[in-house]
Amino acid sequence: MPVITSTFVSKLAVPPFGALGLSIAIPVLVAASCLGAATGRLIVDTHRLLAYTALLALLWGFQLGHDGLYSVPSMLLLSALHLPYVFQLKRAPDPKAVLGWFQGVALLIAGLGLLQYTAQFVLGPELAFPIENYFPEAFRVSAFNMQGYVEYGSAVYRTNGVVMLEPSFFSQLIAIAIVIELVTRRRLWAGVVLAAALAVAYAGTGIALLVICLLFMAVAQARWRLLGSLAAAGALLVASAGLLEQVPYVGALLSRATEFSAEGSSGFARFVGGFYLFDQYLWGDPVRALTGFGAGSFQAYAERARYPASGMAVFKMVFEFGLVGAAGYFMFLGDCVARSSAPAVLRLAVALTYLLSGNYIPFAHGLAFTLLIWTMPARAAELPASGDVADLDGTGIAPYADTHTGSAHAVAPA
């Protein structure tokens, strides 16, 4: 349910919340958690419950010091969205079955993305992006660049996999699927499909996530040749950037890399503008720097800021809850991710999605619940020995023996 809501229904909303950028996935995630707890399929993790309670006490306590100048609905939404972190499945499933199921979902969306990219040339962009063009606006999530051009002046659109909020989230989903494929089955055909889907997304976030995870795997496994190859490829890319700009696809990606210095671009607003917002409003007031301006205050100040700023998780949390509140929030998320028994590289990949999205966007949370929190808790019982998983020493997967076949498999240790 968390993955389905974070992908297939992530664009859908109940009026008037779609205009606020709030997906129907948020109440569905909370409802699924409550249903799971009511039916006994989900149980409470005491450690995470205590951490969640401490976090809410800290953040709500800061709001009481703002003399009512904060958004109660925003605080309630934050509290509800993070409630599922206190649960885990009563019976931990086979982690390989979980990852295999996720790969099926990712490959399906990757296929939709490839069809969408091709369909815009054959059927036209309106039919290639049916939700954006034919679904009632009141029932769609707004404030996202769902149908964006490859680059300024181009007539080609970046694919979002039909169902994903943006090409950015589509590319991150595909990058995580590539990482999982590398640590499990290593199927050539699946790797080709996923790589092709990542290419037509024209999104640097997914590529950056994948590169970071590959570097981590190379270091963790002491694959110095792979690390050297990645470094050489990066150096070659930098050295030949001028020539590569003439290549249509590569030139489009390189042009997006320059967005960090372009004030009117989405890259600047998402990854740079928040620092200017801090300089303008936050750092000059020591009390505000520690406790923030209050829940729900980011957007109002961003609209009056000298430079455009987007509500990425780090910027929004620091601005609204200060350095102390943001530290407590990310310590809570970090503890939840770190205590999962999932492979270390998978924990890293999901953690990166938090930094690349907003904290009220269900995408990263849905991935965490399915891949890390509910299914692979720290106190996982003995896991069934079935399926094949590659032995990646140093990435959190240790080998075990299949008593039925005698073959070597792997399972993430608690």
Mean pLDDT (the chain) is 84
pLDDT surpasses 50 at 295? yes
Judged by average pLDDT, the poorest of 28-42, 246-260, 290-304, 360-374 is 246-260
Count of structural domains, the chain: 1
Token digits of residue 368? 């965490």
Confidence band of 246 (pLDDT split at 50, 70, 90):
low
Determine, yes or no, domain membership for 141. yes
pLDDT reported for residue 235: 75
User: What pTM value is reported for the model?
Assistant: 0.86
Q: What φ, ψ does residue 289 adopt, rounded to 5°?
A: -60, -30
Asked if the peptide bond before residue 16 counts as cis, ω within 30 degrees of 0, the response is yes
Confidence band of 289 (pLDDT split at 50, 70, 90):
very high
pLDDT reported for residue 132: 92
pLDDT tens string 375-386: 987 744 333 333
Rounded Cα distance, 58 and 386, in Å? 43
Confidence band of 260 (pLDDT split at 50, 70, 90):
low
Share of the chain above pLDDT 70, in %: 83
Judged by average pLDDT, the poorest of 101-115, 325-339, 349-363, 367-381 is 367-381
Mean pLDDT in residue range 359-376: 92
Share of the chain above pLDDT 90, in %: 60
pLDDT reported for residue 179: 95
Rounded Cα distance, 316 and 311, in Å? 5
Confidence band of 263 (pLDDT split at 50, 70, 90):
confident
Rounded Cα distance, 379 and 60, in Å? 30
pLDDT tens string 142-168: 878 888 888 777 789 999 999 999 999
The Cα angle at residue 403 between residues 397 and 408, in degrees rounded to 5:
35
Q: Structural domain of residue 213, as residue ranges?
A: 2-373
pLDDT tens string 215-231: 898 888 777 777 777 77
Determine, yes or no, domain membership for 173. yes
Confidence band of 134 (pLDDT split at 50, 70, 90):
very high
Helices 46-64 + 313-338 axis angle, to 10? 160
pLDDT surpasses 60 at 392? no
Determine, yes or no, domain membership for 243. yes
Q: Hey, what long-range contacts does 25-28 have (CB within 8 A, 24 or more apart)? A: 25/362, 25/366, 26/77, 26/80, 26/81, 26/360, 26/362, 28/1
pLDDT surpasses 70 at 111? yes
pLDDT reported for residue 402: 33
Q: Specify the 3-state DSSP secondary structure of 322.
A: helix
Closest CA to 165 of 363, 360, 364, 312: 363
pLDDT surpasses 80 at 341? yes
pLDDT reported for residue 204: 83
Determine, yes or no, domain membership for 299. yes
pLDDT reported for residue 255: 61
pLDDT surpasses 60 at 27? yes
pLDDT surpasses 70 at 317? yes
Rounded Cα distance, 35 and 78, in Å? 19
Q: Report residue 37 CA to chain centroid gap.
A: 25
Determine, yes or no, domain membership for 378. no
Determine, yes or no, domain membership for 382. no
